[in-house]
């Protein structure tokens, strides 16, 4: 028997979209993570929440990332727990190749030191072909405060910290010279941005970065996230 079997009020069955087929059957949502949990349980709980609310719901985002990454940005940000750039800037997985360290410092090119930073820059620029290198400072940065507090000739308190933040020494020199009567906290705020400028300058000591900027294929962008005022500013170099 052939012919149309449609009856009034009968709706033709529509195939579900592919994104629904890729999802697992609905499960009860995991309990929200909280800081009173056992620390490892907190991590597992956080992942379960991410998996059910993001990973399983956005196969269009995560499926292509299984094959590789082509991030637009390389981001340098502070290790400070209050300023994760993926959270504050809404950067999605696959969008930003990220280095985080004390005070978001970029040291100058040096093959005998800083190979962790140098290798990340080299891979981002030469292999991943990122388009934008951005260094993001932030308010109330402990590393910047340490840099500004250091007295000439005083012994270091830590094994590594002081030596690391000295990367921003020229920025500190500029701030204390140009703003000698400015209160310490305000000097810190200025230094947070000047240290970013030193890092942007240091990026140009890496030959592939210098070539990319000269060719117009790379852009250097400074940034500052003020989590006290809730303000994010950027500037280009």
Which CB, 80 or 194, lies closer to Zn ion? Answer: 80
Find the binding residues for Zn ion in span 19-58 (CB under 5 A).
Answer: none
Q: How far is CA 183 from the centre of its chain?
A: 30
Q: How many other CB atoms sit within 10 Å of the CB of residue 151? A: 6
| # residues near Zn ion by CB under 5 A | 4
Size (the chain), residues:
237
Name the one range near Zn ion by CB under 5 A: 59-67, 88-96, 141-149, 224-232: 141-149
Name the one range near Zn ion by CB under 5 A: 15-23, 138-146, 153-161, 169-177: 138-146
Check the annotation: does 83 bind a ligand: no
Is residue 146 within 8 A of residue 80, CB to CB? The reply is no
Q: Which of 74, 75, 77, 78 binds Zn ion (CB under 5 A)?
A: 78
Which CB, 47 or 158, lies closer to Zn ion? Answer: 158
> CA torsion angle for 59, 62, 66, 68 (degrees, to 10)?
130
Check the annotation: does 138 bind a ligand: yes
Query: What's the min distance (Å) between Cβ of 192 and Zn ion?
Result: 8
Q: Which of 141, 167, 195, 196 binds Zn ion (CB under 5 A)?
A: 141
Q: Binding of Zn ion at residue 80 (CB under 5 A)? A: yes
Measured CA to CA, the distance from residue 216 to residue 214 in angstroms comes to 5
Q: How many other CB atoms sit within 10 Å of the CB of residue 60? A: 10
Which CB, 56 or 162, lies closer to Zn ion? Answer: 162
Burial class (CB within 10 angstroms; exposed 0-12, middle 13-18, buried 19+) of 195: buried
Which CB, 45 or 86, lies closer to Zn ion? Answer: 86
Q: Binding of Zn ion at residue 147 (CB under 5 A)? A: no
Check the annotation: does 185 bind a ligand: no
Measured CA to CA, the distance from residue 119 to residue 51 in angstroms comes to 31
Q: How many other CB atoms sit within 10 Å of the CB of residue 211? A: 12
Find the binding residues for Zn ion in span 85-124 (CB under 5 A).
Answer: none
Query: What's the min distance (Å) between Cβ of 189 and Zn ion?
Result: 12
* Percent of residues in the chain assigned helix, strand, coil, to nearest 5: 45, 15, 40
Check the annotation: does 181 bind a ligand: no
Query: What's the min distance (Å) between Cβ of 65 and Zn ion?
Result: 29
Query: What's the min distance (Å) between Cβ of 224 and Zn ion?
Result: 11
Beta carbons within 8 Å of 178's beta carbon, 6+ residues apart: none
Which CB, 146 or 218, lies closer to Zn ion? Answer: 146
Using CA atoms, how far residue 48 sits from 32, 42, 111, in Å, is 9, 10, 41
Q: Which spans of this chain sit near Zn ion (rule: CB under 5 A)? A: 78, 80, 141, 143
Annotated binding site for Zn(2+): 78, 80, 138, 141
């Amino acid at each position: 028997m052939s012919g149309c079997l449609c009856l009034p009020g009968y709706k033709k069955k529509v195939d579900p979209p592919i994104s629904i087929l890729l999802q697992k059957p609905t499960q009860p949502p995991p309990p929200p993570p909280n800081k009173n949990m056992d620390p490892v349980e907190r991590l597992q709980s956080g992942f379960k929440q991410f998996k059910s609310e993001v990973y399983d719901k956005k196969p269009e985002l995560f499926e292509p990332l299984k094959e590789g990454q082509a991030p637009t940005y390389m981001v340098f940000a502070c290790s400070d727990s209050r300023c994760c750039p993926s959270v504050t800037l809404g950067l999605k997985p696959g969008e930003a190749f990220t280095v985080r360290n004390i005070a978001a410092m970029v040291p100058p090119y040096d093959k005998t030191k800083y190979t962790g930073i140098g290798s990340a820059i080299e891979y981002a620029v030469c292999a991943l072909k990122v388009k934008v290198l951005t260094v993001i400072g932030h308010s109330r940065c402990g590393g910047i405060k340490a840099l500004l507090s250091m007295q000439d000739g005083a012994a270091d308190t830590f094994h590594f910290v002081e030596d690391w933040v000295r990367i921003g020494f020229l920025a500190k020199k500029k701030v204390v010279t140009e703003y000698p009567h400015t209160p310490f906290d305000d000097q810190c705020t200025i230094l947070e941005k000047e240290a970013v400028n030193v890092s942007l300058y240091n990026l140009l000591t890496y030959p592939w970065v210098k070539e990319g900027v000269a060719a117009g294929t790379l852009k250097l962008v400074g940034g500052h996230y003020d989590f006290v005022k809730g303000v994010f500013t950027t500037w280009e170099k």
